Amino acid sequence: MKDSLWKEGDILIQSSLAETLKRIRDYGRDGFYSGRTARLLVREMKRANGIISEQDLNEYRSVSRVPLTTDYKGYKIITVPPPSSGGIILIQLLKMIEPYPVKEWGFNSSQTIHLMVEAERRAFADRSEYPGDPDFVKIPVGQLVSRKYLLNRMSDFNKNRASLSLEIMPGSPEGYASEETTHYSVVDDAGNAVAATTTLNNSFGNSIVVDSAGFILNNQMDDFSVKPGFPNMYGLVGGEANSVQPGKRMLSSMTPSIVEKEGKLFLVLGSPGGSTIPTTVFQVIVNVLDFGMSIGQAVNAGRFHHQWLPDWISFEKDAIDSISSKKLTDMGHILKERASIGSINAIMILPGAKIAGGADKRGNNSSCGY
């Protein structure tokens, strides 16, 4: 139907998608990867010269993996393992900034931004080299997130000067040989929590709807590195660990995460935003744990991002005041304003087991209780 035929207030009924969801409800995995949905998907593939076959779908299995965990200032952080890079990056960032008095330096002051950006530059340099699908590459996860390695990684951090990304190579961990995404956070009355991020990659994925099945195909292949040094749509570069291979999962940046305080659930959070996801989750955690913000303030506060290459700080309008911006430029940073960074849906557990929702003003987010 042409756009012009739709009017405000019309109701879009996705009946094909409803039938697909019913098949998944009734047959579980087989409701999608075999039977009618699979046949419809393969028919769509043939129509558009795609290469996924019924056999590929039959052979696909989801995998349950053990989350990564760390401590940050007495809080327990529980986050996503590979094949997302997000959890490794989040832990690296928190550990790299932990020794510094960011609370004293202040939220989004030039000193705080400089420190967080230099940590981001180093974490994303490591991302370009080490992580990929753990079924295909041996990732030195333990070494990459170890306190000793990360202290060493920041040993050339200069409090007064920006480093150059061209001079910051991926680190050498000890013992090592060589935009549409949705996040939702849920907590129930028994204290169970879910942080889930799901993606088509960019808006509308590859823009093909499987006829009669009602869902859109993703273009997540862009999360692989097509060749060394060649950026993907988020400007991320990578190498062999994240090269394309049959049956391999591409390296994501999604970072669904949970924070515990004294062994009890405290935060549930995550975000869309491609390469900016781990840095978005990082800043919201620091906003709450270090700057004492409420979940609403933490989620809506201005954000910035650095991903090693390109070598600049991107920032949201009004996130960095003119004094900090001048100081950062004097230190040698390049600053570029961009549209919004990330879009968080978070939950915070308040004293007395009250639950607060933090729905980011940047997107179509909301919080509710049942």
CB of 150 to ligand DON, least distance (A): 22
Tell me whether residue 191 or residue 247 sits nearer to ligand DON (CB atom). 247
Residue 102: strand, helix, or coil: helix
Contact 332, 162 (CB under 8 A): yes
Tell me whether residue 273 or residue 358 sits nearer to ligand DON (CB atom). 273
CB of 201 to ligand DON, least distance (A): 4
CB of 196 to ligand DON, least distance (A): 13
CB of 294 to ligand DON, least distance (A): 25
68 Rama class: left (phi>0) / alpha (psi -120 to 50) / beta: beta
Q: How far is CA 163 from CA 99, 167, 348, in A?
A: 19, 7, 36
Find, among 304, 308, 309, the residue nearest to 321 by Cα: 304
Tell me whether residue 173 or residue 272 sits nearer to ligand DON (CB atom). 272
Distance CA 249, CA 12 (A): 34
Find, among 358, 341, 105, the residue nearest to 234 by Cα: 341
Tell me whether residue 109 or residue 271 sits nearer to ligand DON (CB atom). 271
CB of 179 to ligand DON, least distance (A): 3
Tell me whether residue 146 or residue 343 sits nearer to ligand DON (CB atom). 343
CB of 61 to ligand DON, least distance (A): 19
Classify residue 54 by burial, with Cβ atoms within 10 Å: 0-12, 13-18, 19+: middle
| The pairing of beta strand 313-316 with beta strand 335-338 | parallel
The catalytic residue among 20, 112, 181, 276 is 181
Contact 187, 265 (CB under 8 A): yes
Distance CA 18, CA 221 (A): 27
Tell me whether residue 223 or residue 290 sits nearer to ligand DON (CB atom). 223
Distance CA 318, CA 78 (A): 31
Known catalytic membership, residue 181 = yes
Q: How far apart are the first and last CA of the chain?
A: 36
Helix ranges restricted to H, the chain? 15-27, 30-33, 35-47, 54-59, 86-97, 102-105, 110-127, 141-144, 147-153, 277-289, 295-300, 322-331
Q: Where are the beta strands (DSSP E) in the chain?
A: 68-72, 75-79, 181-187, 193-199, 257-261, 264-269, 304-305, 313-316, 335-338, 345-350, 354-359
* Phi, then psi, of 55 in degrees rounded to 5: -65, -45
Q: Which residues bind ligand DON (CB under 6 A)?
A: 179-181, 199, 201-202, 220, 223, 252-254, 272-274, 277
Tell me whether residue 71 or residue 222 sits nearer to ligand DON (CB atom). 222
Q: Please, which residues bridge with residue 107 across strands?
A: none
CB of 324 to ligand DON, least distance (A): 27
Active site positions, annotated: 181
